[in-house]
Amino acid sequence: MARLAAIVPDAGLCSLVSEAAKELNEDLLVLVAGGEEVLHAVRRAEAAGAEALVAKGYLADAARGVTLLPVVGLNPGPLDVVTAVARAKELGDKVALLHFGGAIPDLVTLGGSMGIELREFTVGRTAQEVRRILEQAKQDGCQVVVGGQVTVDMARSLGLKGVPISVGKTSARQAIEACRELVKVRRESDERRADYLGVLDSIPVGVIAVDPRGTVRLCNNAAVALGALGRADVGRPAAEAFDGSPLLAALKGEYGGAIKATRLGDARVGLEAVAWKSGDRNEGVVCVIHDVSAAERLVDQLSSPEGPEPRAVSFTFEDIPAASPAMQRVVAKAAQYAMSDLPLLISGERGVGKEVLAQAIHLTGIRRSGPFAVVSCEGLAPDAMERRLFGYERSGTSPSSRKPCPGVFETCHGGTVFLEEVWAMPMELQARVASVIEHGVFWRIGGTEPRRVDARIMASSSKRLKDLVARGEFSEALYWKISDLQIEVPPLRDRPDDIEPLFELFAGKLLGGTGRLRLSAASASRLRRYSWPGNVRELEGMVKRLAVEIRAMPLVPEDAVERMVLEELLPGREGPPETLANVTIPAGRLEDMVNEIIRQFDRACSGNRSEVARRLGISRTTLWKKMKEM
């Protein structure tokens, strides 16, 4: 049921509106307020969780100026006008009806049927205009004035009789029903928008949308992770957000309909601009950002008769700042598991650094002198993944493709095979990989000789494999084979103590020991309060952009880094939330969004659950139940 609130000027109307709400079985909060008290009443309604407001006359106009909630006017209806005119007949036979415009009954018929002369006047909102019309009505011989309470009071001051038009229960019911329907429509719209944004954020391709005025309207997590822009760029002119970037040329259509290969920082990407249309209406331009670096490496590897080359390994535990207790536990466990040869599953959200941790384990472990090969299960077609894993005896008809080509199970002899985002591996390959792990034997594609595997298997996943197994979307056999040992890397938002050390690590790599990119206490605090939907990858992209700006400065002003950090972060994310209006969260499933809101309030209140419940406007019991379910 919709949570609604009403703002009315007096106790009588409060009682009437409450009765109407009760008849409609509507949980309505009714607040009595004068003109100067509207702001306080609106804030009370917002704090109580109201999703829409009903307000009387001028109170509705005032409320619309201080809230983003929809406001439905509580105005008299035609039946209320007829009732007021009938009362006026008892005071005189020449009646003036003053109103601001709207649906009014047929006045000639109405006056004639009542045996009175009824004059209609449409007035403006100013007191001077109302007084002028009243004086004219008095000169015309009108004895009684029917109108709003302010109009009637002014008429009486001029010696006229007055009957106010009061809101009846029918009009109150209609306003409440309209408000309820408005909330229903808004909820459905918000749910659809959340679904669309959730889908957009789940795809690995970067997407940026710019409207016809040249303003950046939205971006997804992949675009942020690729270093294309910061979240704060949403709402900025594209010409400013992408000044000097190939993204601007793509958005202007300079590449035509083709995909342009270029670079965004260290990432090789393909930029493609497509028209953004809604039906026949032009909504702007969408820039699609393809990360082609992995695809180019794969093409090179598969075209080599010697098979895919292992990836260069460079990350150690020294490259993993662990100031937070959570990350200290992760690193300690990883160091312990490095001494084992059992399969290892590393789980965590995208961008938390799962491959970095896998490389550190490899370089510290008993197979550190062997190769380290990555198989991107999410980025390969099934047949390409099969060739990547198992190799082949021959493929195609060209001279080079007739030569046998080993897969990673062979080229990583004595080393480590890292199955990146293993949840995306096709089901038909999962059974074969499970068999290889169990028996240590495989066959090349088209081969007849069994070959032995001597490699440690590590895997990563940004999805909960147990849930996928329960839904039949992942092989239970493979899950148990790769999860003898397990490590879960927490998201960056849950370990804010690591943010500043990571910032310094990335800045040091980019700018050396010059100290030109140093965080102030205020900037560090803002970074700690940001939610980091792209995790460590997003933080690294932000530092890269800051480093580019710093390099261009002959002298770095003291507040330069703080200003750039502030511009990078979305307004509203850096301050401790006092109300829901100050919380910005990444779109996704409704349950995940609610959980993120609770997390932000919990961090801002330093774990004071009573304060969290107060700010959220819920009971401690409700908060406890929600946090228990998280």
- Percent residues over pLDDT 70 in the chain: 79
Q: What mean pLDDT is predicted for residues 356-384? A: 88
pLDDT at position 55 over 60: yes
**Cβ neighbours for 466, distance < 8 A, ≥ 6 positions apart:** 479
pLDDT score for 399: 43
Structure tokens at 91: 């005071």
Range with the poorest average pLDDT among 211-225, 262-276, 524-538: 262-276
- Cα gap 245→263, rounded to integer Å: 9
Per-residue pLDDT band at 588 (split at 50, 70, 90): low
pLDDT at position 200 over 70: yes
Q: Taking CA 367 as the corner, what is the angle to CA 364 and CA 372, rounded to the nearest 5 degrees?
A: 90
pLDDT at position 577 over 60: no
**Domain 205-291 belongs in CATH node 3.30.450.20:** yes
Q: Tell me which of 3.30.365.10, 2.40.50.140, 1.10.8.60, 3.40.50.720 is the CATH number of domain 492-568.
A: 1.10.8.60
Query: Helix 560-568 crosses helix 535-551 at what angle (to 10 degrees)?
Result: 140
Arch. (CATH architecture) of 309-488? 3-Layer(aba) Sandwich (3.40)
pLDDT at position 570 over 50: no
- Cα gap 591→445, rounded to integer Å: 45
Range with the poorest average pLDDT among 15-19, 62-66, 72-76, 102-106: 102-106
Q: What mean pLDDT is predicted for residues 161-174? A: 89
Q: What mean pLDDT is predicted for residues 405-416? A: 88
Q: What mean pLDDT is predicted for residues 140-166? A: 90
- Cα gap 123→127, rounded to integer Å: 10
Spatial contact of 442 and 432, defined as CB atoms under 8 Å apart: yes
- Cα gap 518→79, rounded to integer Å: 70
**pLDDT tens track for 469-498:** 999 999 999 999 999 999 999 999 999 999
pLDDT score for 310: 57
List, in sequence order, the alpha helices (H) in 556-589: 560-568
pLDDT at position 587 over 60: no
DSSP three-state, residue 568: helix
Q: Tell me which of 1.10.10.10, 3.30.365.10, 1.10.760.10, 1.10.10.60 is the CATH number of domain 580-629.
A: 1.10.10.60
pLDDT score for 233: 81
Q: In what order do the strands lie in the sheet with 267-278?
A: 216-219, 206-210, 281-291, 267-278, 260-264
Domains 4-75+170-185 and 79-166 share a fold: yes
Instruction: Please indicate whether residue 168 or residue 199 has the higher confidence score (pLDDT).
Output: 168
Per-residue pLDDT band at 229 (split at 50, 70, 90): confident
Long-range contact set of residues 221-224: C-beta below 8 Å, sequence gap at least 24: 221/350, 221/533, 221/534, 221/538, 221/586, 222/289, 222/291, 223/289, 224/533, 224/534, 224/538, 224/541
pLDDT score for 230: 79
Instruction: Please indicate whether residue 522 or residue 353 has the higher confidence score (pLDDT).
Output: 353
Compute CA distances 198 → 184, 203, 215, 438, 593, whole Å: 21, 9, 22, 38, 10
pLDDT at position 115 over 90: no
Per-residue pLDDT band at 206 (split at 50, 70, 90): confident
Per-residue pLDDT band at 571 (split at 50, 70, 90): very low
Per-residue pLDDT band at 335 (split at 50, 70, 90): very high
- Cα gap 575→236, rounded to integer Å: 21
Spatial contact of 259 and 187, defined as CB atoms under 8 Å apart: no
Domain ranges (residues) in the chain: 4-75+170-185, 79-166, 205-291, 309-488, 492-568, 580-629
Bridge pairing between strands 405-406 and 450-452: unpaired
pLDDT at position 365 over 50: yes
pLDDT score for 263: 72
- Cα gap 57→564, rounded to integer Å: 46
| Selection from 299, 291, 330 nearest residue 541 by Cα | 291
pLDDT score for 197: 75
pLDDT score for 628: 66
- Cα gap 566→531, rounded to integer Å: 14
Per-residue pLDDT band at 605 (split at 50, 70, 90): low
- Cα gap 127→135, rounded to integer Å: 12
Q: What mean pLDDT is predicted for residues 502-527? A: 76
- The highest-confidence range among 162-171, 285-294, 396-405, 502-511, by mean pLDDT, is 162-171
**Domain 4-75+170-185 belongs in CATH node 3.40.50.2300:** yes
- Percent residues over pLDDT 90 in the chain: 25
**Domain 79-166 belongs in CATH node 3.40.50.2300:** no
